[in-house]
Structure formats: C-alpha cells, structure tokens
Structure 1
C-alpha cells in the first residue's frame, strides 16, 4: 500500500460548564495533509460510474443532451489510467452505454475512445426512474468494494416513474457502498429529491442552470474523485456510560446531519461514515449531554477517533484521535464564554435551515413566514461572512438592513436563482467576518 495522507484531529471547545451544566459542544476539525499527488487509494483501486439522464425531456432543448454527452466525454478523459469505469443511461430504466455488458473496464486510450463513441450515439426518450439507475450502478460497483467508488448522476427532471418508497429502498441498499455527486440541469428537477440522494450517498448536489456549464462541472467532479486516496473513513465517537450523544453534524464544507447514520462499533462507541478522503479538511459539530458534576471535576465527555474500519480479514486502522472535555466551574466568566467556532457553525446550520424554510414558505404562498425566515438568513449570512449566500439571497429579496434582517421579497425571481440558493444553502465558510 502506498503512503496515504497524514490525518490530524483538532478539537475546539469551551470545556467549562456552570454548576448543573449538562451540554458539551465541540468542533472537531479533521485534516488530511501531505499525501503524494500520485497516491493510490487503499486497495490500489478506484471505480467510477457516470449516469446520464436520457429521458425525453433531455432533448428539450437538445443542448441539454449534447452538453451532457460532452461533459461525460470530458469526465472519461479526466479518469486516471487503470481506473475501472462505466457509463449508464437512465430513463424508465437503466441501460449500459459502455461497456455493453454490466461490468466496469479499466480506463486506457482504447476504452476511453470506445466509451466516448458510444456516448455520441445516445438519444433521448422515455421517463425518469432514478432508483433503477442507482441500482445498476450499485451492481457495477459490487466487486470493487475495496477502493474508491464514485458515481456522477445527472438529471433534468423529477423522479416520476417510480414511487418515493422504491427510491428510498434503493438508497438504503446503496448507502455506504459508493459516493454519488448529483447534478440537476435546467430548472425542472426537485432540489429536495436530489439532496436526499446525495445526502444518503455522502455526495454533493448542485444546479447547473445552463447546460453549457456541464463540461467544466463534470471535469471538476472527476478531478476531485481522482484526488481521493482513502476510502470509507469513519468518525468513531465514544462517550461515558452516563452520557448521551445528542448529535454529530458535518458543518464544513457543507452542513450534513450524520446523527442517524451511527453504526455501533463497541461499548459506548459508534461510527459515523465520512466517505472517501484526499488532501482536504472538514469540520464536525458534536454535542454530548453529561450528568452534572461537582465544581472542579473534569470529565472526558467524548473520545473521537478517525478510523478505517477493518473489512473481512483486515485490521482496522486508527488515523487520529482527540478528546472532548467537560469541567465544572463556579467562575461565571469561564462558563459563559461561547467558543467562537461553535457559535459560527451553529449560525451556519441555522442559516441552511431558514433559507430552506423561507423558500418553501414562499412556494406555499405564506409570504410573512418567507419574509421572516429569509430576513433571518440575510442576518446570519452577514454575521458569518458567507458572501456567496448573501449574493444569492439578494437575488430573492431586497435587503433593507442586513444587520437586523429587514428584507422585502422580490416580486419576480428567476427560478434558477431560487433553486441555486436552495441547493447551495448548506455550503458553509470557515471563518467569521474580521477573523483570519
């Protein structure tokens, strides 16, 4: 196995609790550094499946399908030699584009050429049944579970040809088996639907309003996937017997609640899946409830480890560890000091929530709620220094006073702007305004 990134864990918190205090908050920053650019993933393998929507609507306008084909061809060119790959087309059901049989083939000059040629012959017809597309991807990844597994899924529409229950069953089956980045092209797809898929499969979701932007987006997604070197990392959290782990959330680079993903891994410990890693850093917010202790007492409220769980015949690897502490004090100045990073990320989790609630209220015609929620979003984005969200909010509301969150809803809003704000509401920034 080649050298893999060096992982570190840093814990940011105010450990001091007032008398009777029970709730401990910490930001756990995980960083992977120093991996060789040419590093091979654990297991020495990587696998990629590109899923292109070929339902009838992809030909209205036909720039959608043409751009999707060009984007998939660029993604194939971006694959490293030797990476196992396949291309799937999706409509009422899933079909192999390349190779013709349902398996993956190693990328080289010949297979890339054949795959791009097969893509160029795609035609659009039929409906949309995304679960069937993912089911075929899962089948393709089946014998490649030892390395990086990444899928790209592109659609332009709603999942109309299967029930929500059918899609949920497929997502349950696929969770943990591969990572999937989802893209919606145009404005006729459902943000909540694609977010559900990308969230279940630990990927990203975004809008590509203009089909011409697909090529650059597919290249960036594939390059990011090729930069991953360690598959299936988990955050293991141990808490004392009398404590209760209230939540585990990813808060950087985007908000993702991992609490319900826990898999018990030992006495008082659980693993939370983090997907594949390259050279990067991510932040997690952990909250533990502990029974109150006497003034002066210090307690380990949590022990966090970054692990690669061992598969059959493999030992697990511990990559890094850190402690979450609690100490009771009667010094009010100590116990009321809020850790800046905990406050910053708490605000950004709320920001994502109020943006989504505000846009939903606007859709439902509840303009008072929409104004209040989106006003609060403007205020939080301003406080956090989240300029990207501020810019998107200003396309949906007229800002009267950002400090107080006083806004007016715009009468006419471009649907793509509204969907971009919804899709990107969970993207966070690391530092508050005025901080380094």
Structure 2
C-alpha cells in the first residue's frame, strides 16, 4: 500500500483579536488566518516513488431532458467537460458521469477510475459523445455513483467532484438527497455549478456546503468552458486533504461558533467532531497555496480585573495513515480583564470587518428570500442594509451585483429602490455569490 509523503505545504496560523475584556465580560472573538505556502510539495500526495495517483476527480454532467433546450446547452456542457479533461494533470485518476434520474459512468465505464495521460484524455473526450439529454434529475444518485468510484481508490487522499446542473432536483425527495449527503460528507469535496436560471440556489448551496466546495452560476452556457477550466486548475492545485482546525478550550468555556469568513462565509459550528477532553475538530477540506480566515467566538467564565487566561488553543492537524495526526501549526486566543475603558472597548479591525461581511451575506439571502415571497418592504430593507454593509466594508464586487437588482439612492444610509424588470440571472447571481467576501485590508 502506498504511503503519504512526509512533505507538505508549510502552514501558519495568525490570530487577530482584542484580548482585553471589561470587568465581567465573557465573550472572546478572534479571527484566525490560516495560510498554506510551498507549492510543488504535497502534503496529501503520495510518495514520489509510488506509481499511484495523488488525486481523483469525477465530473458529473446533467444530462436531463432540459439540457436540450436549447440544444447548445448540451453541446456547451460537452465542450466544457473536454476542457476540464485537458486540464487534468498526468497521473490523476478520473471519471465522467452522466446524470439524469439515475447516474451512468460514461468514462472509463468499467466501474472504476482511469489514470490521466494523453491516451486516456483523448479516449474520455471521445466518450463525451455519449452525453445526450433525456430523463429527469436525481442528484443524489450522481453523488452516490461518484462516491462508489472514489471508493475504488481508497489510497487516493485528494478527491474532488465537479457537478453541473441546469434544473431542480425534482426526481428525488429532499430527505433522500440528505441521506446521500450524510453518507458522503467527508469522503470528497464538490464544486457545484448551475447553468441558466431554472435551478435552485439553496439546493446547490446545500450540496456544496456539505461537501466543502463552491457554488456559482453560469448564466450563459457559452461561459461553461472557461468556468470548468478554472475549477479544474484550482482542483489540480490542491496538495493536502482533510486538514482539521482543532479548538481546545479551558473548563467551563463554550465555543459559540466557528465560521470560515474568507474567501466565503461558511458556518462550521455544527460540524464539530469531539477530539478528547474540551477539544473539537472542524473540517477545512483540501488545501493548495492559499489563505483563509476563520471567526472563532468563545464564551469564557467571567473574571475580575487583572485576571488573564488562555481562552483557546487553535491547532491545524493533518491525519497520518497510522491514525495519529501531525500538528501543522498553532495559535493562542487570550482573555485579559481590565478596567481601562479604551482597551476593553477597542474592536479588532479584523473582527469588525468579518462581522460585517457575515451580516452582508445574511442580509442578501434574507432580502432575496423576502422578494421571492412577495414581501417587498422587507426585501428592500434587507438589501438596503446589504448595500450599506458592502459600501462600509469595501466589497466592491458585491456592491456591483446589488446595483443590478436595486437602484442605490444613498449607499452610506442604505437607501435603495428595487429596479424594474430585474433579470432572473442578475437576481440568482447576487444570491449565489452572496457568501463571497473580501479580505480585511492590512
């Protein structure tokens, strides 16, 4: 059996907080910046003398009947999948799945995964002619087949899915999909893409969130090829899998929440796995050369002025084949009680920024939900708040998306009016990208 290489990207943990609390205060907030550097090495890769693959990719393409309306949609999907196949690195294990009300392995078609080289890439692109539109949509069956294919190569640490759909998951019940997600969570990651405007944002976000991937809209089918190329290139950049963020807290302290806040907002609180006395692990998925920010909120026992305590020890862990874990980096969150009003009321710029970014994301989603429900007053208030927050936090890309849905009267005050004849594509783009954040300016 192949073993993991001892080399991996270098990880660092930086903690940003105001550790000073007023007399009796209990809530400690910190932004944890995790950075992985050292491209070219591979913590999750197999050793160089092994012939086994270091990563596996399964591309799941919607082939339901609606993909033939217009016919260019299916053609663009085939072309985009071919582009993704061309972006595969030599040695990567891969497969292509056609999804409808059931799932079919289009390539290699033997119940397993092919290994990418010039010949298999060409064979896979020829096999894409089998992608034809018919039938319904049952995404759980697509994920189930992807899981089965990944499981044929249990030696591969990095497993990544790409899922494309143009419609709603109408041929299976929500609880059926949830059972599949419960089964495959932690087994592989999935990036979801919705093409056109007939799919549901919250449905794909549910999948991408559970599987620690991304979700986005490709409003025009002609944009699929470039999007697939970008997704595959990012997948090929992943070097280490299954990194966990471990929080140890002292007796009587409570972790209120753990959220990823950059590059997107993702609440990890409910995904805690207990890891010994007063410690819990939160999944972060696969890493390449990149940096992410996490917001940690801890409630500690109140203490008198002059007291100081360690509120949390934060560690990055990489599992080893023998069941142990390597500590990649650590950081400390402190609490110091003071009667100095200036110190205790100062808000960390990083904490303030990402609190605003999380509020911005929630305001957009609540505003769009209210608009769909016909509550224009609530929708206007929420999107007005979103405009104000985007303006205050410098999130220019989200501000521009908001301007396609509302006319901004006063950005600073959040005064807006809904625009007439807003396109469905603009509404869905705003909602889909509502979780994308900008990093705090250093």
Q: TM-score range by the shorter chain?
A: over 0.9
Q: Does residue 225 in structure 1 map to residue 235 in structure 2?
A: yes
Distance 1:315 1:401 in 2: 55
- Secondary structure of the corresponding residue to residue 173 of structure 1: helix
Three-state SS of the structure 2 residue aligned to 1:273 is strand
Deviations 1:303-326 (A, max 9, x none): 000001344x24311100000000
Structure 1 Cα separation of the partners of residues 58 and 280 of structure 2: 30
Displacement of 1:52: 0.2
| Distance in 2, Cα, partners of 1:141 & 1:296 | 55
Q: Please list, as runs of the form range in 1=range in 2, the aligned pairs for 1:168-317 lying within 5 A after superposition.
A: 168-311=178-321, 313-317=322-326
Deviation at 1:35, TM superposition (A): 2.6
Task: List per-residue Cα deviations over 1:148-185 (Å, max 9, x = no partner).
Answer: 10000000000000000000000011100000000000
Match of residue 378, structure 1, among 387, 391, 400 = 387
Post-superposition offset of 1:382: 0.3
Counterpart-to-counterpart distance in 1, 2:43 and 2:55: 8
**What is the 5 A alignment of 1:6-405?**
6-36=10-40, 39=42, 41-43=44-46, 45-145=54-154, 146-311=156-321, 313-405=322-414
2:277 & 2:160 partners in 1: Cα distance? Answer: 32
Asked if the contact 2:367–2:378 (Cα under 8 Å) also holds between the matched residues in 1, the reply is yes
How far does residue 232 in structure 1 lie from its aligned partner after superposition? 0.6
In structure 2, runs of 5+ residues without a counterpart are: 48-53
Indicate conservation of the 8 Å contact 1:51/1:88, yes or no: yes
Q: CA deviation at 1:362?
A: 0.8
Partners of 2:356 and 2:323 lie apart in 1 by: 41
Identify the residue that residue 5 of structure 1 maps to in structure 2: 9
Q: Secondary structure at the match of 2:284?
A: strand
Verify the 8 A CA contact 1:28 1:283 in the aligned structure 2: yes
Deviation at 1:287, TM superposition (A): 0.3
Q: Distance in 2 between matches of 1:310 and 1:242?
A: 31
Separation in structure 1 between the aligned mates of residue 253 and residue 120 of structure 2, nearest angstrom: 55
Rounded to whole Å, the distance in 2 between the matches of 1:56 and 1:43 is: 41
In the TM superposition, what is the alpha-carbon distance from 1:228 to its structure 2 partner?
0.6
Contact kept, 8 Å, 2:113 with 2:152, in 1: the verdict is no
Q: Secondary structure at the match of 2:371?
A: helix
Q: How big is each residue's C-alpha offset from its partner over 1:16-58, in whole Å with a ceiling of 9 and x where there is no partner?
A: 000000000000000011232x747333510000000000000
For 2:43 and 2:218, how far apart are their aligned partners in 1? Answer: 31
The 1:289/1:40 distance shift into structure 2, 3 A limit, reads closer
TM-aligned CA deviation for residue 121 of structure 1: 3.1
**Contact map agreement 1:3 1:35 (CA 8 A) in 2:** no
CA shift at 1:410, angstroms?
1.0
What SS class does the counterpart of residue 320 from structure 1 fall into?
A: strand
TM-score (structure 2 length as normaliser): 0.96
Equivalent residues in 2 for 1:397-436, closer than 5 Å: 397-431=406-440, 435-436=441-442
Q: Secondary structure at the residue paired with 1:425? A: helix
Q: Tell me, in whole angstroms, the C-alpha distance in 2 between the residues paired with 1:139 and 1:308.
A: 25
1:71-114 Cα shifts (integer Å, max 9, x gaps): 11111111111100000000010001001122111111111111
Which 5+ residue runs of structure 1 have no aligned equivalent? none
Per the TM alignment, residue 411 of structure 1 is displaced from its structure 2 partner at its CA by 1.9
Secondary structure in structure 1 of the residue aligned to 2:46: helix
Q: How many residues align?
A: 431
1:220-262 deviations in whole A, cap 9, x for unaligned?
Answer: 1111011010011010000011100000000000000000000
SS in 2 for 1:117: helix
RMSD: 1.1
Question: Is the CA contact 1:19–1:294 (under 8 Å) kept in the aligned structure 2?
Answer: yes
Pair 1:6–1:163, CA change in 2 (3 A): same
For residues 216 and 39 of structure 2, what CA distance do their matches in structure 1 show? 28
Partner residue in 1 for 2:50? none
Is the contact between residue 6 and residue 35 of structure 1 (CA under 8 Å) also seen in structure 2?
no
